Amino acid sequence: MSGESLTPNMVYSLLLMSIAGVSAWWSRYVIQNIVALRIAVFIGVSTSIYMLINI
């Protein structure tokens, strides 16, 4: 791994995972909407699986 760098797909996945994490927290504690929480968690998990598959 010493010579590798982040590809644009990896950066996009990391960005979506961080946005999904913040959205999940916001949905859970601020607006208390369980449907939005589930959507945010689904997006976060999907992008993390996508990122792991493409490593």
Identify the three-state secondary structure at position 3. Answer: coil
> Where would I find the beta strands (DSSP E) of the chain?
none
Q: Is residue 2 over pLDDT 60?
A: no
Q: How far apart are CA 55 and CA 43, in angstroms?
A: 19
At how many degrees (to 10) do helices 8-25 and 34-53 cross? 160
Position 11 confidence tier, pLDDT thresholds 50, 70, 90:
confident
Confidence (pTM): 0.76
CB 44 within 8 A of CB 25: no
Q: Is residue 3 over pLDDT 60?
A: no
Position 41 confidence tier, pLDDT thresholds 50, 70, 90:
very high
